[in-house]
Each structure stands twice: as C-alpha cells, then as structure tokens.
Structure 1
Amino acid sequence: MVGRLLLSSQFLRNVLFAGSSQRLAALLPYQSMKFFLPLATSEAQAERIHARIADRLKAMGYEITTHRIASVVHRREGRIIKDAVGYPADNDEIVLAIFKNEIGYFVCTYSQGAVWGHPVTIRYAMVESAEDFDQADFNQKGPE
C-alpha cells in the first residue's frame, strides 16, 4: 500500500507543481457535480486516493466524518476565502480534498495534508458556508 501511495503522490506532485491549474480547470465539471478527485482518471481511482488521504489524516490523529465536502467559504486574516476541490488554494496547489469533523474543516493539498504536512484547519467560528458535493454548483470561472 505504501508503494501505491508513493506512486500516487509522485503523479500528483508532477502534475500539481507543473502549472496545471489552467489545464485542470478545463477538465472540471461545471454543473452540480458528484464526488470527484482532481486528476483521478476514474471514479475507482478517486475513491482509493480519497480513502488514502483520509487514512493519513486518521493516522495523524484527526477524527473525520464521511461527508464529502466540495467547498468551504471562510474568513482568514480579514479576507473571505473559498477553498474548493479542484481549484488552487492559497499555497497555489490544487485542493485535493476537504474533510470535516467536530471542530471544523480540513483542507488538503499535496503538501498540506494529502502527502506531507498537516492540513489547513478551518474552525467552525471562521466558516461562512460549506457545500457537500451533492449541493456544489461550480461554473467555468471556478468557485465564486
């Protein structure tokens, strides 16, 4: 399993750090969407990678729910920010997954939670709104 994770992380690193956000935006669904993971080539692969990220967070001591979060709007340093799966985060990496637990949300990019480091923690007190994948409605310009 570790070898598979390394292969997946190598693939993600190569694509996520290769200026792929414009190419990725052209591949994203634009209407209400079902669960997906950026750059996954199949639904089964998306499920496996999502489960590996969840397992990694659990191994680090994070308790997370099974909700599939598409986006979260929150306040950070006086700004309103919307982190959405498939779009660049503040660190210019693509948001791969967003998880939820009793204290708030965890936004995962390659180097923040998915493969390295800890996820970005967004406490409920900072949250303006959040959308599950069932409710998500993205347009061609990305999350608004």
Structure 2
Amino acid sequence: VDLGTAYIVIVVLDKNKKPVACEMEFAQVVRDGLVVDFIGATNIVRKLKKKIEDKLGVELEEAAIAVPPGTGERDIATHKYVVEGSGMEVTAVLDEPTAANAVLGVENGVVVDVGGGTTGLSIFEDGKVIYTVDEATGGTQ
C-alpha cells in the first residue's frame, strides 16, 4: 500500500512477487508523505481493498506499506494506522524505491520513484540498499 501525494495505490503480489492486481485513486489526503486527512485516506484504502478483494475473490489480511525515504516514526505510524483501519495488518514498512524494487529486482543500480510530491532514490549493491534519499522534486513541484 502506497499513500502517495497524488495517488493511493494498492498492488497485490503473488508468491513469486509478480503483480496480480492493482487499484489506485487520485487523492489529496497526503502531502509530502504526511497524512493530512486520516479519515479520507482510510476510506480510500478500504474502497480500493474491497475492489481488489471482489476482483480476486480473496480477503486481503496483510500489507506492506511504502513510505518516502526518511519518513519519521510518527508519520510511519500514521500510515500504519490508515492501513490497519482498512482491516489489514501491516507486516512490513519499506521506503518507496525499495518497495518498487521488490518487483523490479535490481541487484546493482538505482531505483528512482518520481511521485506526486517527492522523488525517492535507492541505490542497490548486490541486491541490498546501500543509500536512500528523498527529494522534494516530485510531479507537483
């Protein structure tokens, strides 16, 4: 689950980490990684979760969340509360570029996540993150 500045996105991966479903909705409930409308964000996540559950015929019970690199613990907790409010247990917290790399599989290189409010970068060496940063230069800047 990615609570982005421009879009809230839920992507479901199969056991081989391949995407099997995705739902997204434009939303102005998060600004630069900070949830500014908790109820609105929770309602959107609930709606997207239900769409995917109806599409796949399974209940989504667990989720990993993606946050901008450098997001503080309090803001991470708020993201977790939003997702938990939709009925899913948060099992992992990843920075956004690292979450994207779960699908991309970059071993040595850089993953760049240009979002609506910020741009996150993660540098990978031998499949491990060695550096991550977030810049206030996203799509709405």
TM-score in terms of structure 1 length: 0.30
Q: Which has the higher strand share?
A: 2
TM-score in terms of structure 2 length: 0.31
